[in-house]
Amino acid sequence: MIGCFFMGQLFGYKNNLSTILISLLSIILYICINYNKSMSLAIQLKNVSKHFGDFVAVNDLSFEVQQGDIYGFLGPNGSGKSTTLRMIMGLIKNTKGEINLFGKSLNLNRSNILREVGCIIEKPDFYNYLTALENLQLFARANQLNFKKTDFEQLLERVGLLGREKDKVKTYSHGMKQRLGLAQVLIHNPSLIILDEPNTGLDPQGIIDLRNLILSLNKEEGKTILFSSHILSEVQEMCTSMIVINKGKTIAQGKVAELLSHEKIHVKLEVIEVDKTIQLINQSNWKELFDKMEENVFVMNMSKDKIPALVSFLTLSGVSIERIDYRNQLEEYFLKITNQ
Amino acid sequence: MKEFIAILKNEIIKTIKRPRSFIGFGIIAFICLMLQSAFYHDGKEILSFVTGQLENVFNVEGKVLNGNLICFIVLQTLIVQMPLLVALVTGDLVSGETANGTIRFLLTRPASRTKIVLAKWIAGLFYTLLLLIVLGFFALFVSHWIFGDGDLMALNSEGLTIISADDIIWRWGYAFLIAFLSLSVVATLANMLSCIMDNSITPIVSVMAIIIVFTIIGMFDLPSFDLIKPFLFTTHMISWKSLFEDPIPFHDIWFSIAVLIIHIVLFISISIFYFNRKDINS
């Protein structure tokens, strides 16, 4: 803005009126750019803290979630994840800082904002003495939706509970409650979905179904998803960006690919020809990446993208590789930064 | 307003469908039928003992053991239990959801916390009204069906009052309204404690403890207690009985109504104030 003002002077707008006009235009431009930026953000936390007496649960936390992102929210147990998610949903009042959703202050626009948000915080809880359908009818009414029977059926089919809707929720397994929780999240077609450990209690098929559902909600319907999970392979596979917090503080944040691009992982190669492999590695540049050896297993400390080159080097040199194993890159990264 | 009606409807549905809600209805029906059965078999002997003494002075005519007397006795008996039955459900309306975690669902929807507390409070009052309707049905209608109509011999603090059967229906109507107001104070107190506490049992026990302490204070004629007695809601919970005195002390009744309403306003205001500031950690 100030730059534009001086540009006016520089380009010879000696007339005061011209200078004022250019300055005004600059101010408008500045406001528009910032407005557009804030509107493109689904979630924005600025220096948010939460104190419970002397205990600081969240300490000066700032992050932004772009609309259309699948954003991973990671941290060990007790790191302040749930407290942060509760503050975003207005369940807990922040002690300091600012929380904006869709460019609007949560404190000032709570009702309008929450119409656009669906969430499962901690675990999905329901009225156990009611059936799944009765629970959904309550949720639909609370969201002022005029749902017909077919609408409920479509929703239940989407989460894989069609046919069980007349059963009381107290008869449901944890996995089924998670599915019903997803139905509750999706019932009002929100543009932002917040999921706290959504795959807890799901069977393998349930985890795959959930992953596909999240990806389809994001890709096909453009929904923004903030998602916390301890299954880090899921986060790595699905999320575009992420934040890692510990003891209420940010310890890493950014694009998942960028954060992990320079990260090395421990790759375990189980080979048949042990002596030949030792010789080959010692005589090549791969020696620098060699970490240790456990019987016929070679542990290499390297980035994931180098695995194909190593495999082709060894196989072309006549080494038979029985097994390649490596820990998920995000798991390695997470353990490294949270244990620091 | 549309939003408030929607959440109120939800609250009423939840209150009615909870198994706990039916305990109150069941207990009222059981106690009423038990008392009616006892009076049906042994009532004449009990009453002849009372009226026998009166017959030395007065000429007692007509049917003394009638529906009105039974209703009066049932109401006096149940006034002790009714607050417990009301607190059993209303003391759990907010804290029960906090303990179960369903409060998270309620508070992450667009409706404000004030609307949620008010909806829950009204649902609690609706349940209290239902309890009184069930009580009225069993105590008044079933008693009349079994014992028939007749003049009421009401024993009050002022002595024995005989109220004509033709002059009694409106008194029952107002008595039930004042009883509803009294129980509404209990429901509002329970709702307030339910907003403050995070488990289901403590608000219910606390309501009963408060009622017991206030009632004990009301029982003693000590100068230090006399100062606070008129302002305790428990003092006014039996003001419905004043409608069966002759002449009716309307001034006292209006004072009781005012004290009860002030308690309701105070309790619901505290509920709203506290609940709006509460962190939901469950």
Q: What is the pLDDT along chain A (340 residues), one digit of tens a residue?
A: 455 555 555 555 556 777 777 777 777 776 665 555 555 888 999 999 999 888 989 998 898 998 889 999 888 888 888 899 999 998 999 999 999 999 899 889 888 899 999 998 888 889 989 999 999 999 999 888 888 888 899 889 888 888 888 899 999 888 888 889 889 999 989 999 999 888 777 788 888 888 888 888 888 888 999 988 877 777 888 888 888 888 888 888 888 777 776 677 788 889 888 888 888 888 888 888 888 888 888 888 887 788 889 899 989 888 888 888 877 667 777 777 777 6
- Prediction ipTM score: 0.81
- Contact state of B14 with A127 under an 8 Å Cβ cutoff: yes
- Contact state of B279 with A138 under an 8 Å Cβ cutoff: no
Please give, rounded to a whole number of angstroms, the shortest distance from the CA of A205 to a CA of chain B.
Answer: 27
- Contact state of A139 with B19 under an 8 Å Cβ cutoff: no
- Contact state of A142 with B6 under an 8 Å Cβ cutoff: yes
Q: A41-259 adopts what CATH topology?
A: Rossmann fold (3.40.50)
Q: Which residues of A touch B20 (CB under 8 A)?
A: none
Residues of chain A with CATH 3.40.50.300: 41-259
| Count of structural domains within chain B | 1
Residues of chain A with CATH 3.30.70: 263-338
Q: Is residue B282 part of a domain?
A: no
- Decide if B99 touches A, using CB distance below 8 A: no
Q: Which residues of A touch B104 (CB under 8 A)?
A: 89, 91, 121-122, 125
- Contact state of B277 with A93 under an 8 Å Cβ cutoff: yes
Integer Cα distance of B204 and A218 in angstroms: 46
- Contact state of A91 with B9 under an 8 Å Cβ cutoff: no
Q: Is residue B160 part of a domain?
A: yes
Domain of B45 in residue numbering reads as: 2-277
Best mutation site among A58, A91, A111 for testing chain B: the one with the most B CBs within 10 Å? A91
For A37-42, which contacts have Cβ atoms below 8 Å and span 24 or more sequence positions?
Answer: A38/A100, A38/A103, A39/A102, A39/A103, A40/A66, A40/A67, A41/A65, A41/A66, A41/A67, A41/A100, A41/A102, A41/A103, A42/A66, A42/A67, A42/A69, A42/A101, A42/A102, A42/A191, A42/A192, A42/A224, A42/A226
The DSSP call for residue A165 is: T
Predicted TM-score of the model (pTM): 0.82
The DSSP call for residue B86 is: H
Q: Is residue B264 part of a domain?
A: yes
Best mutation site among A111, A112, A119, A182 for testing chain B: the one with the most B CBs within 10 Å? A111
| Residue among A188, A54, A184, A190 nearest A198 (CA) | A184
Q: Is residue B177 part of a domain?
A: yes
Amino acid at A241: S
Write the pLDDT tens digit of every residue in B105-139: 889 888 899 999 999 999 999 999 999 999 999 98
**Assigned CATH for A263-338:** 3.30.70
Residues 183-202 of chain A whose Cβ lies under 8 A from any Cβ of chain B: 184
